[in-house]
Structure 1
Amino acid sequence: MNAGRLRVAEAVGMLAGYGLDAVFGDPRRWHPVAGFGTAASALEKRVYAPDRAAGACFAAVAVGTPVLAGAALAGLTRRRPVMRAVAVAAATWTVLGARTLRAEAHTMAGALDRGDIEAARGRLGHLCGRDPSALDEPELARATVESVAENTSDAVVAPLFWGAVAGLPGLLGYRAANTLDAMVGHRSTRYVRFGTPAARLDDALNLAPSRLTAALTVALAPLAGGDPARALRIWLRDGHHHPSPNAGQCESSMAGALGIRLGGHNVYFGRSEFRPHLGEGTPPLAPDIARAARLSGAVGLAAATLAATYRLTIALRARRSTTTSTASATMRPAAGPAGRRAMSGRQSATTRAAGRAGDVR
């Protein structure tokens, strides 16, 4: 019964943590993820070498430590459902970034609505790592919508997914892996080999959440004035065109839901890339950013509901298993001579009844 109560507590904790993020957003100071980043940077300085073996060691320690911390916290609260709910709520609030993501999108949309391109360029660094110096309104809007689409998975759906699957270790471990990917997963001269293990781990952890994000985006497209059938068609057609195995799923479904075209020439600091076009229609403008943010919020709420429902389902299964085991133990004869005599008596009665039935036949 205790296992079922813990699963219920975790479901309540995830919903509470989602609510805390929705109301308060990220802490402005002393954010635990920022503290993790500082610790990971210190570790990197100690173990860095321009090869994948060093990168694998770095990723194993940097991700394994939060996973072990989550497992230890789960162990400490295994008999305290209320404390488990509090711990899960705090961890969920820590790893989510839904409110901040939408707030940055609305800030960008407001700057573009005012025609303040310089202000918009100054805010882009809060969303992605592109060089904004030469970007106009459509390109700034495209970068914002693409970032909202991808980060709806990375910062909202994926943490909830792994929290639902693995509880506290899943919440903390996923956020650690995703943070490492942001730190060392890009193909700069320093990280082209060292950052590969962290990037591959993040890719693997996001395979399922990115597709869940895309599916929810398709289903909820009407909330942004979109057509689910069109969103599904674009997702299935263009989702694999992106160089990332996961980002393309989220961006293509968002493009289809909003009826816009994403992708094109991206300039980062020191390098440039061309991303295949995703979707149909014209590039996004400021109003499309607000629609993307609204759809992102709906997808996040749906993901939180699904995550809590999954933990409640596990709780129900645990309760049924406990009930079945209790019933089986009740029906089982007591051990020892008295139990054996009772069983022998029942068997003798059964044998006599069968003999009488034979006489009748």
Structure 2
Amino acid sequence: MVFLLGPAAIALGFLLDLLLGDPPGIPHPVRGMGFLIDRGESILRRLLPHNERAAGTLLVVLVTSVSLFLSGALLFFAYGQSPWAGFTVEVFLCWLALSARSLQTESMKVYRQAVREDLAGARQAVSRIVGRDTADLSLEQVIKAAVETVAENLSDGVIAPLFFLALGGPPLGMVYKAVNTLDSMIGYKNRRYMIFGRTAAKLDDLANRLPARISARLMIAAAAILGYDAKNAARIYRRDRGLHASPNSGHPESACAGALGIALGGNASYFGELHEKAVLGDASRPVNAGDIKSAIRLMYGASLLFLPAACLVRLVIGFVAAR
């Protein structure tokens, strides 16, 4: 019956994230990954000053290997003590791999400032969850940025971690978190990271390819269940999913835009440089602060639809491995 522990750990980890968000008072592994990336970049740039691509690739190998080794070693040690100790650690690592509640918490901070029409406060709140420059955003652009982030992070923060937890348990889930963290820190298309961060960006694109497409379809299904415009979500998804500069982000974002009947995307500034971005969806109506709440509902609806599938995949893999 040991094969039942894997799916149970995923389900309990999801529940803990739903109820509590990031564990209070406990350093999150992503912070450790971030520290390793920051220090590793400094060291590898000095060691390989004339080969940025190799230095960036070595950093990717280092961070993902450390994440795999530490999580695997922790599980191996815990299960060596007892099945319940191992199960407890597995639940904890599954919890750490997910970030639906923290996404809700941060995006609701934007919502509360937007409702008050506090533009300065809304800009500050959204700056915590987006990579673009926020100092000159209008209130409408702030709301759009928050909605886009919720839609994109349905894949990055929930569906993709569940996907990799299902396939390989917490060690593979932590490897995915490492890949995602690498991309968020060095995967930019600017002068500093265009070459150094290329491997990280490409690996993140590959890791999210299937989860992003699953996320879009789940969002369309959630729209139908929750009373949003699922027919329009499917239409906009088919029409606009390939317009985004990212090979993956346009999938959940276009589905979300269609479900809500709004336009997302458009030009944005990153590190002082203007980037032309396509518009996803039709501006059937102006955006409003309530769209942030609606995006959160769609995010949770899609997540709950995928959870049983992830647990089932983990059950089958565990059953086969136990035979």
Taking structure 2 as the reference length, what is the TM-score of the superposition? 0.92
Rounded to whole Å, the distance in 2 between the matches of 1:237 and 1:165 is 31
C-alpha deviation, 1:43, in angstroms:
1.5
Look at both structures and tell me which one has the larger radius of gyration over its CA atoms.
1
Rounded to whole Å, the distance in 1 between the matches of 2:77 and 2:144 is 46
C-alpha deviation, 1:283, in angstroms:
4.7
Aligned residue number for residue 19 of structure 1: 15
The percent of aligned pairs where both chains have the same amino acid is 36
Question: Aligned pair 1:307/2:310, yes or no?
Answer: yes
* Counterpart secondary structure, 1:220: helix
C-alpha deviation, 1:28, in angstroms:
5.1
Rounded to whole Å, the distance in 2 between the matches of 1:316 and 1:121 is 49
Rounded to whole Å, the distance in 2 between the matches of 1:172 and 1:33 is 9
Aligned residue number for residue 53 of structure 1: 54
Tell me the amino acid that sits aligned with residue 126 of structure 1: R
Rounded to whole Å, the distance in 2 between the matches of 1:74 and 1:104 is 31
The answer (yes or no) to whether the contact 1:223–1:295 under 8 Å persists in 2 is: no
C-alpha deviation, 1:183, in angstroms:
0.7
The answer (yes or no) to whether the contact 1:130–1:269 under 8 Å persists in 2 is: yes
The answer (yes or no) to whether the contact 1:238–1:248 under 8 Å persists in 2 is: yes
Choose from 199, 207, 210 the match for 2:209: 207
Taking structure 1 as the reference length, what is the TM-score of the superposition? 0.83
The answer (yes or no) to whether the contact 2:221–2:302 under 8 Å persists in 1 is: no
C-alpha deviation, 1:214, in angstroms:
0.6
Aligned residue number for residue 234 of structure 1: 236
Aligned residue number for residue 288 of structure 1: 291
Question: Aligned pair 1:298/2:295, yes or no?
Answer: no
1:164-313 → structure 2 map (5 Å cutoff):
164-280=166-282, 281-313=284-316
The answer (yes or no) to whether the contact 2:107–2:126 under 8 Å persists in 1 is: no
Q: Which moved more, 1:77-86 or 1:253-262?
A: 77-86
The answer (yes or no) to whether the contact 2:75–2:90 under 8 Å persists in 1 is: no
* Counterpart secondary structure, 2:192: coil
The answer (yes or no) to whether the contact 2:126–2:142 under 8 Å persists in 1 is: yes
* Counterpart secondary structure, 1:47: helix
The answer (yes or no) to whether the contact 1:220–1:298 under 8 Å persists in 2 is: yes
Listed one character per residue, the Cα deviations across residues 99-129 of structure 1 (whole Å, up to 9, x for unaligned) are 0101112221111111111110111111102
C-alpha deviation, 1:78, in angstroms:
5.9
C-alpha deviation, 1:223, in angstroms:
4.7
* Counterpart secondary structure, 1:267: strand
Aligned residue number for residue 7 of structure 1: 3
Tell me the amino acid that sits aligned with residue 296 of structure 2: A
The answer (yes or no) to whether the contact 1:6–1:84 under 8 Å persists in 2 is: no
Aligned residue number for residue 346 of structure 1: none
The 1:225–1:267 alpha-carbon spacing in structure 2 relative to 1, beyond 3 Å, is farther
Aligned residue number for residue 66 of structure 1: 67
Rounded to whole Å, the distance in 1 between the matches of 2:286 and 2:101 is 25
Tell me the amino acid that sits aligned with residue 302 of structure 1: L
User: Number of residue pairs matched?
Assistant: 316
* Counterpart secondary structure, 1:275: coil
The answer (yes or no) to whether the contact 2:72–2:171 under 8 Å persists in 1 is: yes
Tell me the amino acid that sits aligned with residue 247 of structure 1: S
Listed one character per residue, the Cα deviations across residues 244-274 of structure 1 (whole Å, up to 9, x for unaligned) are 0110111011111111111111122221112
Rounded to whole Å, the distance in 2 between the matches of 1:317 and 1:39 is 36
C-alpha deviation, 1:71, in angstroms:
3.2
Choose from 99, 102, 118 the match for 1:100: 102
Tell me the amino acid that sits aligned with residue 280 of structure 2: L
Choose from 128, 131, 143 the match for 1:129: 131
Question: Aligned pair 1:31/2:28, yes or no?
Answer: yes
